[in-house]
Structures are given as C-alpha cells and as structure tokens.
Structure 1
Amino acid sequence: MQLEGKNVLITGGTRGIGKSMVRELVNGGVSKIAVIARDRDNLKQLSQEFEDVKFLRIAGDVANIEVLRETAARIEDKWGHLDILINNAGIVSAGPLEDIPDEDIYDQVAINYTSILLLTKYCIPLLKSAEEAAILNISSGLGLIGMPFYSVYASTKAAVRQFSDAMRRELAPFNISVTCSFPTATNTDMMQKFKDREMDSPELVAKRSLEGMLNKEIQVIFGGEERLKENRLNFEDPAALDEVVAQNYEQRKTASLDHKAV
C-alpha cells in the first residue's frame, strides 16, 4: 500500500504522535487529511504549517457521538470514500483505582476505546468504497501487559488490541487491513511528568507505526527485546511477572501519582 493520493482520517492529529503522523503522511504524498481535535487553534496551525494539504478540520471531542457521525458524513460528502483511518486520540489518568476520579475513569473508556468502536463503525462503509483501505489503531505497551496503578488506561488499551484482531478478521474479505501499534514511553505532552526518563520520539513512533500499516503488519510493538521478553513471560507465567513487578511496587505507585493528561 502507498500513501500518495490517499484520503486519511486521524484523531488527535494536532499534537504528539498524531501530529508526527500528519507530517509523515504529507511527506508520503497525502494531500487530503481529515483531523478531529479539541483545540481549534491547533487545528488552524496545521493548515498554516502544511499549506498544500486540503484539511477537513473537525473541532470536537471524540467522546461526543455526534462529532464522530458528523465526521463520517463530511468525508462522504467531500471525498466519497476513505482510504486510511487512524485511531490515535487517547488520554491517561493514573494512580490507585480507588483514587482516580469517576469522571476520569469514564472519560478514559469513552476516549480511548468507545470512540474507536463508533468511529470505525461509521467509517466502514467509506473504507469499503476504497479499492484498498487500512485501519491503524494506536494502543500502548500497557495494552499488552497490565501494570499496577494503570488499571483503567491499560484495560482500555488492551480492549483496542482485541478490537483490532476482531476487525482484521471481520474486514479481511473487503481488502481492509488492520494494524495495531503498541508504543512504549513516548516523549509527548502525555509524558511530561517523566521528562528525565529515556523515551522514544513521537517521530519514531509515527514513522514505524505507519510503515507497519503500509506493510499490513498485524502488530507494531515498541520497547525492543526487553518488552518482547516481558510479553512472553506475562503470557507463559504471569505469576513470575507478578514477582518482578512487586519488587518495585512503591516506586511504581509514586511514579503514577499525578500522571494525568486528559
């Protein structure tokens, strides 16, 4: 699959990994991009930064069903079909479950998962109208391994993994591929609390994730061999990984406090 000439929809495309993806898309020859984001000023800045791109700018929250329906309707009206859907928007509110505000639990589920279900649903007819189409879902390394103090975030990201598998199999007869990407710690606004930690760049995550989509890879997993070993251990002997995690329990708890980007 090639990027040139494709119609693309991306959520959360004005910052972090999303904006880096927009840049990669433009460099690959994409000139029609629909973007859903909450900040109108950031949406306008996209148009100023990428002057040759015909943006469909949708200012709104992906947790709002009407915003998602409007987006699909506008794409059908303007373009007639969609080649690539990138479900990227996400938020985090960490800490002990009993301390996470109810609203933050609800919003994480709504934005990180429910919005992906609904937007994909509304876009399937548009994707089926393309000769060849692709969906890229951005999960997280925590979607592969559930860690303490990230119970809500990790469970939403694990749901994205399962949804990706199900949709890949459901849409295969229609020449629609589905790729799920699992970034580890990435240097974005969501990770400002951990400035001194070694992290991947959003540019790297964007480039590698899009490459995986174009190559029709099922999964793109970040974190190197160490993450792959943890994944295997979690699957083969989760009790053993429990012991590893328990060794720095208090450190993990302290690190999670005030880790909030909503």
Structure 2
Amino acid sequence: MQLKGKKVLITGGSRGIGKCMITELVKHGVQDIAVIGRDKDSLKALREEFESVNFLFVRGDVGDINALREISSKVEDEWGSLDVLINNAGVVSAGPLDEQSDEDIYDQIAVNLTAVVVITKYCIPILKRSDDAAILNVSSGLGLIGMPFYSVYASTKAAVRQFSDAIRRELEPDHISVTCVYPAATDTDMMTTSKAQNMDTPEHVAEKSIDGLINKKLHVIFGGEERLQESKLNFESPEKLDAKIAESYDERREASLEHKSM
C-alpha cells in the first residue's frame, strides 16, 4: 500500500502513539489527516508542528457517539472519501474489578471498544469509495493474554482483536485490508502512573504499526519472542501460565492500584 496522497482519519492522534503515527504518515507523504481528540491545546499544537498537513479536527471524546458522527460526517463532506481509518484512542483503569468505579468500567468499554465498532461502521461507506483502503486497529498485548487486575481493559482489547478478524473477513470483497497491532507497555502519558519497566518508545510502536499497515499485515505483535511463547502457552496450557502469573500476584496487584489514565 502506498500512503502518499492518502486521506487518513485517526482517533487519539494528538499525543502518544497516535501523534507518532502522524509523524510516520507524514514521512510517507500523507497530507490530509482528520483527528478527533479531547484536548484543544494538543490539537492546536499538531497544526503548528505539522505545517504541511491539511488537518480536519473535531474536539471531543470518542466515547461520545455524537463526536464520532461529527468526524465521519466532516470527512465525507470535506473529502468525499477516506483511504485509511486508524482506531488508536484508548483509556485504562486498572485494579481489582470489585474496586473499580462503574463509571471507569463503562468508559473503558465505550472508548476502547464501542467507539472502534461505531466509527468503523460510519466510515465503511466512505472507505469503499477508495481504490486502496485500510483499517488499523490498536489492541494491546493484554488483548492476547488477560492479566489479573486488568480484566476490563484486557476484555476490551481482546474484543478489538476479534472485531478486527471479523470485519476483515466481512470487508474482503471490498478489498479493504485490516491490520491489528498489539503494543506491549509503551512509554506514553497513558503509562505515567504505571510501574512497568523496559517500555517500548511510542516512536517504535508507531513505525512498526504503520509498516504493518503498508504491508497489509494481519497482526503486528510487540513484546518479542517472550510474548509469542506466552501467547502459545496461554492457548495450549493456560493452567501453566496461571501458575506462573500467580507467583507474582501480590506484586501485580500493588502495581495496578495507581495505574489509571482515563
């Protein structure tokens, strides 16, 4: 897939992995980018940093269905078609399930999953007008292996994985490729309150993710051979992985208590 001249819509593009993805897109010749984000100053900073880009902005929360309708309608009105949809926005609230607020549970599901499904629904008709369209969904390593104290977050990211497989097969006759990426812990604002170590850089994750998009890879998995082996073990002998994780149960619980980025 050639990105030069493509029209791209990205959620959560004003910071972190999303902003680094914009850097990669610009390197590949993209000049038309639509972004939905919550922070006015961050959106303004994007326009100042990427002077060559013709931005379409909608300030809003992807968990708000009206914001999703607005950005997709704006793309259709301004561009008439869309080449690439990147579902990147995400939030996390970790900790024991029975100690999480109802609001945090609902918001994680709304942003991490419902928004992905709904905005994809809105964008499919305009993606079909492209000669070479693609969707890039950002899941998580926790979408491959569910970890204690991340039950809600892991569930939403696992659902993104299944959604990606399902919608890829559904859109096959329309020749719309779908790539799903699974970042490991990444050094972004989302991880400020996490105690994770040896994190990937957002630049690395963005580069590999956009490369996967260009090459129409089905899955891009971060975390190296260890993640692949754990995923295999989780599928073939989950009780063995249970025992391994149980060895660090208390440490994992303590580390999760302050990890929140909503």
Indicate the TM-score class for this superposition, using the shorter chain for normalisation. over 0.9
Q: How many residues align?
A: 262
What is residue 228 of structure 1 aligned with on the other side?
A: 228
- Alignment correspondent of 1:147: 147
Whether 1:114 and 2:119 are equivalent positions in the alignment is no
Counterparts of 2:256 and 2:196 in 1: how far apart (Å)? 15
**1:208 and 2:186 equivalent?**
no
Match of residue 188 from structure 1: 188
Aligned-pair CA distance for 1:66: 1.0
3-state secondary structure, aligned to 1:240: helix
Q: Give the Cα separation in 2 of the matches to 1:7 and 1:182.
A: 24
Instruction: Determine helix, strand or coil for the equivalent of 1:193.
Output: coil
Q: Provide the secondary structure at the position in 2 that maps to 1:85.
A: strand
Alpha-carbon distance in structure 1 between the residues aligned to 2:51 and 2:23: 12
Q: Percent of aligned pairs with the same residue?
A: 64
Name the counterpart of 1:219.
219
Q: What are the superposed Cα offsets for residues 159-202 of structure 1, whole Å, 9 maximum, x if unpaired?
A: 00000000000001101000000000000011113467111000
Match of 1:97 in 2: 97
Residues in 2 aligned to 1:231 and 1:196: alpha-carbon distance in whole angstroms: 19
Amino acid at match of 1:130: S
Q: How does 1:130-169 map to 2 (within 5 A)?
A: 130-169=130-169
SS of 1:76's partner is helix
Secondary structure of 1:52's partner? coil
Unaligned runs of 5+ in 2: none
2:36 equivalent in structure 1: 36
How has the CA–CA distance of structure 1 residues 67 and 196 changed in structure 2, closer, same or farther, with 3 Å as cutoff?
closer
Aligned partner of 2:179 in structure 1 is 179
CA distance in 1 between counterparts of 2:188 and 2:107 reads 20
**In structure 2, what residue type is equivalent to 1:168?**
R
Q: Distance in 2 between the 1:195 and 1:33 partners?
A: 34
1:17 aligns with 2:17: yes
TM superposition score normalised by structure 2 = 0.99
Per-residue displacement from partner, 1:55-103 (whole Å, max 9, x unpaired)?
A: 0011001011111111111111110100000000000000000001110
Which 5+ residue runs of structure 1 have no aligned equivalent?
none
Which residue pairs with 1:197 in the alignment? 197
1:260 aligned partner? 260
Question: What CA RMSD, in Å, does the superposition of the two structures yield over aligned residues?
Answer: 0.8
Partner SS state of residue 5, structure 2: coil
CA–CA distance in structure 2, aligned partners of residues 207 and 256 of structure 1: 28
Q: State the SS of the aligned residue for 2:134.
A: strand
